[in-house]
């Protein structure tokens, strides 16, 4: 559909541009990302048996790379649902790290950060819609349920046919036995 061919690149453009910019200059994003990385790493250390690395710049680069790769795939219409899901997952820490409006006292700065925060929430909504868009085709879940139902029906019919053949064979064997015992 034409709308998808236009909407996907428009939605992806911000991620590709921002990801490339971050890969070129990750140091500018490190201070904002540090509290988020520290919080996530602390939670992970509690849950995992190994200690999680705390190299903030590396996490910033990984996130940027994921945004460039997934954004490019989404723009090209390749693996659009998976790409949108990856972008959704990368947008959450990006938003929490980059637009912490609750930490600003200056009304103008707070308003600007709030606007960017809400813009990212809007993009998250668009990505979630793109992640569940089946392009008019039945979903994987529907196709799986339908295939399972057809397999069950086919198996049931096969069992019924086998039971009928077995009953016929048993009757035939009983007739032969009766003829032979006379």
* Same-domain check for residues 45 and 125: yes
Rounded to the nearest angstrom, the gap between the alpha carbon of residue 94 and the centroid of all alpha carbons in its chain is: 17
* Same-domain check for residues 6 and 27: yes
State how many domains the chain has: 2
Q: Residue 175: which pLDDT band, with cuts at 50, 70 and 90?
A: confident
* Same-domain check for residues 89 and 154: no
> Which pLDDT tens digit goes with each residue over 1-41?
789 999 999 999 999 999 999 999 999 999 999 999 999 89
The range of the structural domain enclosing residue 161 comes to 140-181
Rounded Cα distance between 164 and 4, Å, is 53
* Same-domain check for residues 170 and 125: no
Q: Yes or no: say if 29 and 71 are a contact pair by the CB < 8 Å rule.
A: no
pTM of the full predicted structure?
Answer: 0.72
Does the structure show a pLDDT above 70 at 161?
A: yes
> Which pLDDT tens digit goes with each residue over 102-144?
999 999 999 999 999 999 999 999 999 999 998 888 877 888 9
Dihedral in degrees, nearest 10, Cα atoms 149, 153, 159, 162: -140
Does the structure show a pLDDT above 70 at 182?
A: no
Q: Yes or no: say if 134 and 117 are a contact pair by the CB < 8 Å rule.
A: no
> Which pLDDT tens digit goes with each residue over 55-99?
999 999 999 999 999 999 999 999 999 999 999 999 999 999 889
């Amino acid at each position: 559909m034409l709308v998808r061919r236009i909407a996907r690149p428009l939605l992806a453009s911000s991620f590709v541009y921002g990801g490339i910019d971050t890969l070129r200059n990750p140091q500018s994003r490190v201070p904002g990302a540090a509290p988020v990385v520290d919080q996530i790493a602390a939670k992970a250390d509690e849950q995992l048996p190994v200690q999680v690395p705390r190299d903030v710049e590396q996490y910033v680069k990984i996130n940027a790379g994921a945004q460039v790769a997934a954004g490019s795939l989404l723009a090209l219409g390749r693996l659009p649902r998976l790409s949108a899901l990856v972008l959704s997952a990368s947008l959450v820490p990006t938003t929490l790290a980059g637009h912490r409006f609750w930490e600003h006292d200056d009304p103008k700065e707070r308003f600007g950060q709030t606007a960017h925060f809400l813009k990212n929430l809007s993009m998250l909504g668009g990505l979630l819609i793109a992640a569940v868009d089946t392009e008019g085709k039945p979903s994987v879940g529907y196709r799986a349920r339908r295939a399972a139902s057809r397999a069950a029906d086919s198996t049931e019919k096969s069992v019924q046919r086998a039971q009928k053949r077995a009953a016929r064979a048993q009757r035939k064997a009983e007739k032969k036995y009766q003829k032979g015992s006379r």
